[in-house]
Chains A and B, each alone.
Chain A
């Protein structure tokens, strides 16, 4: 096949441009996949702990990393990526939880959705495996206000105070306050 000289150079320029855009993209893709590997388990555990079903939890985690890809592709700030990831997951999870509550309002499908949800409450078989001490602790955990529970779960998944503050839109002081209050309450319940 013969290609006119000018056409050929245009072709070369275009392929070169595409190649460089391609490698930028695939770098970002690789980074997102790396972050997925790093955070998937913790994120899933967090969204389960705040009441999402396994199915919804997995969907949300996928959505989080697609959003992260766009975030990085647009060159948005990346100084607190873990906080960013958990923040998006937290917000999506609460939205999903609300939506499923709303869907229930109209329907008699309460039980159907109830069956889809998982949370920290153990099944009777599991309860057999839980010590009295652990059951007391779970009960005390549930008795905490939801924001305090969020803080505690995020801390348990390894987030620093600064990151928790970003996820929940709180001040550092408020995070520290909430955590110490909750731990003291759990400790009290643990001792009794």
Chain B
């Protein structure tokens, strides 16, 4: 553990790694690093987390990158169009209209539009079919499949736990697959859903399948982030003694949206 005050802070280590320090400070830092194994090890830990983050971002995002079908050409066409409109105006606009170059551009634009229209139609057809499949999926947990399940915990355990940092939320992939299956979602890959706890572990929820459901991630009004807020609020109230743990568990598992409205005194997410 690096308890000594003279060690470098995470912030300075990162600034140094990112090449964001002034040269003089940089020299001092390399001298310190050369002598201090603690700081070098810490720097290595931070670097390793960064490379893992880079890898996971690429793995998650790169498959979604669309090929550049005509996007570059479309931009060029738009640019010529704009240049013509906003150019020197008046006379030059008149001459531009006559220019051979413009003639070419217009032909290119029309050809391009035909190609793009074809691409767009086929894209729409494809996305529509997946929309239809997903449209029937649940936004709220089914009472039958996910009534909520708790583990035996004392109030002290609930309130003494470390602040949630994500690791507590890991659910084995096999269980996640089971959850998607029981909700009939194994056909369409539900990119926008995450398997979530109905009663959060911080409130004593268990990772039993009865406490797990596919939650729409990003785009709905009542999404995972909103539920996270409710969980934080309930945890705070339970640990402040304002609310009984059992009531919190019951309210969040009966209908978390109703619970949100009740505890935040609002009809829509804040």
Minimal beta-carbon separation of B119 from chain A (angstroms): 11
Interface bin, chain B:
35 or more
Q: Closest residue of chain A to B84, judged by CB?
A: A25
Interface string of B99-138 (1 = CB under 8 A from A): 1010000000000000000000001000100110011110
Interface string of A123-166 (1 = CB under 8 A from B): 11111111011111111111100000000110110001100000
Minimal beta-carbon separation of B240 from chain A (angstroms): 22
Interface string of A148-192 (1 = CB under 8 A from B): 000011011000110000000000000011011001111111111
Contact across chains for A66 and B190 when beta carbons are under 8 A apart = no
Contact across chains for B165 and A49 when beta carbons are under 8 A apart = no
Contact across chains for B61 and A117 when beta carbons are under 8 A apart = no
Contacts of A113 on B, CB cut-off 8 Å? Answer: 219-220
Chain A positions within 8 Å of B, measured between CB atoms, are 14-15, 17-18, 21-22, 25-26, 28-29, 32-33, 36-37, 40-41, 44-45, 48-49, 51, 54-55, 58, 61-62, 65-66, 69-70, 73, 100-101, 104-105, 110-130, 132-143, 152-153, 155-156, 160-161, 176-177, 179-180, 183-192
- Within 8 Å by CB of B72, from A37, A41, A176, A190, lies A37
Main secondary structure of the interface of B (DSSP, over half): helix
Contact across chains for A18 and B88 when beta carbons are under 8 A apart = yes
Interface string of B207-248 (1 = CB under 8 A from A): 000000000111111000000100000000000000000000
CB-CB nearest 10 A-B residue pairs:
A140-B166, A139-B166, A187-B49, A123-B189, A180-B11, A115-B134, A18-B92, A21-B88, A25-B83, A110-B220
Contacts of B139 on A, CB cut-off 8 Å? Answer: 110-111
Minimal beta-carbon separation of A89 from chain B (angstroms): 14
- Within 8 Å by CB of B218, from A26, A51, A58, lies A51
Contacts of B83 on A, CB cut-off 8 Å? Answer: 25-26, 28-29, 69, 73
For the complex, what is the distance from the CA of A190 to the CA of B170, rounded to whole Å? Answer: 12
Contact across chains for A142 and B166 when beta carbons are under 8 A apart = yes
For the complex, what is the distance from the CA of A123 to the CA of B55, rounded to whole Å? Answer: 17
Contact across chains for A135 and B170 when beta carbons are under 8 A apart = yes
